[in-house]
Structure 1
Amino acid sequence: MQLNFKKTGSGSPLIILHGLFGSADNWFSIAKELEKDYTLYLVDQRNHGDSPHSDVWNYDAMVEDLLELVDSEGLRKFYLMGHSMGGKTAMKFAVEHPDRVEKLIVADIAPRYYPIHHQTILAGLNSIKLDQIKSRKDADDQLAQYISEIGIRQFLLKSLSRDSNGFVWKINLPVITEKIEEVGKSLNEGEKFEGPTLFLAGGNSNYIQQSDLEDIHEHFPAYEIEFVSNAGHWLHAEQPAAVIQEIRRFLK
């Protein structure tokens, strides 16, 4: 699958993968700082952003998508970073193609299995009647019945677009809803990337816990971990300066 991506900056290539319900746009503010030192590839993963939709949605497919992208761009070796679902894709790519990844950065996700925990978000998104709403405020009002936090609603509604027929989702909501268990799947036993790896964890997030460190070491023996203070799961949005600082330190 030919993924949509935005390329900016100059220097060594750094590929960034967004998380579930997100898009390449989530990383624009980070990119504005890092493009001074790196050629950035901000990627829309399948069923997200402006990339194609498909009934096939799992990490094997997303790894193949990324491989097709880097091959088409002639990238032999590169830095790779992913957040949440994108972090799982990045980890899976690194263990399958270790010769292609110079350094790996994983933002607020561990290689373990995560139980389904997006039911409320999915119920809220599916409750929005696209053929009935007249404005984004109408969509927000419906979503607010399920999600009280305005910041989360604003993030989710970035995937609401408009065409000549009215409002449409950029995300492939039916497939994501049907196959949501795919996003929580773990790496397979024995899969290993021995290159330098940085895990960035939100200090207020529960996605990476002390109990995960043994599992992380098993898959990524050359890992280091940094906890970003005053940040939850969306650490790059909550503490961008700290995240940029850690990325620069690790890649240099």
Structure 2
Amino acid sequence: MKLKEFILLGHSLGGFLAASYSIEHPDRVRHLILADPWGFPEKPAEHKDVPLWIKGISYVLKPFNPLAGIRVAGPFGPWFINFVRPDISKKYQMALEDPNLIPEYIYQCNSQQPSGESAFHAMMSDFGWAKVPIVKRIDRLDAKMPVTLLYGARSWVDHSAGDIIKEKRTSSYFKLQVISGAGHHIYADKPEAFNQIVLDACNYTDSTKSNTPMITGPDEQERDEPESDRNS
């Protein structure tokens, strides 16, 4: 596309990759938007009270890629996806007439050679944690780069990294928002709120060509509608 500068948005693993790219190429990223990003906090110390059988299952499954079950299911993959995660189809039922399209799409995306999935597995230290979390590298992110970080209030993603990053970026534009009623897929659960946050970030970037550092207000609150921001 030959873009010299752009606003970069990443969701989940895409957030981890977007942040890593922004650290290495700060001259190209005008604004970093992170939507429920994976791989940001450090893995907590292992709890001694975890049952032995759970540790055993975790050990057995560790060598496998996260979506290996889809490929094992073969032609029953779409049914397997719908059985395990019926909520995914429900998120898009208002936009799609055929409820089977989403499971079929997910199956087709993940039924072939899992190159990207294998790369994700290589970056993991147990599911949910990165071997090299972003919080350990966030100090290398250009202090002038605006950052918008949003989480779903019901997401499985650990939100704690948001407050850590907020403390580290006190002299630059940093907006932290939690969307109430949204899970990991914020854009599907609360599309209006998500779109408004992205538009706000884009409008801010367009109005500040020099990326002048800016700190928003200190009050934080859970966000439900586009008007009620959780700013830091």
Scaled by the length of structure 2, what TM-score is found? 0.58
Which amino acid is 2:164 matched to? E
Answer yes or no: is 1:75 the counterpart of 2:3: yes
% same residue: 22
Unmatched 5+ residue regions in structure 1?
Answer: 1-72, 162-167
Q: CA deviation at 1:225?
A: 0.6
Greater radius of gyration (CA): 2
Cα separation, 1, equivalents of 2:28 and 2:34: 16
Deviation string, structure 1 residues 139-169 (Cα, Å, up to 9, x no partner): 3334456x153526975641434xxxxxx84
Structure (1 or 2) with the greater strand fraction: 1
Q: CA deviation at 1:124?
A: 2.4
Secondary structure of 2:200's counterpart equals helix
CA RMSD of aligned residues (A): 3.5
Cα separation, 1, equivalents of 2:163 and 2:190: 23
Q: CA deviation at 1:222?
A: 3.2
Scaled by the length of structure 1, what TM-score is found? 0.54
Aligned to 1:149: 86
Q: How does 1:127-146 map to 2 (within 5 A)?
A: 127-129=72-74, 133=75, 138-143=76-81
Secondary structure of 1:160's counterpart equals helix
Contact 1:107 1:200 in 2 (8 A): yes
Contact 2:35 2:150 in 1 (8 A): yes
Secondary structure of 2:184's counterpart equals coil
Answer yes or no: is 1:173 the counterpart of 2:114: yes
Cα separation, 1, equivalents of 2:158 and 2:173: 17
Answer yes or no: is 1:125 the counterpart of 2:70: yes
Which amino acid is 1:200 matched to? L
* Stretch deviating more after TM superposition (174-183 or 193-202): 174-183
Contact 2:70 2:107 in 1 (8 A): no
Contact 1:124 1:143 in 2 (8 A): no
Contact 1:191 1:219 in 2 (8 A): no
Which amino acid is 1:229 matched to? S
Aligned length: 166
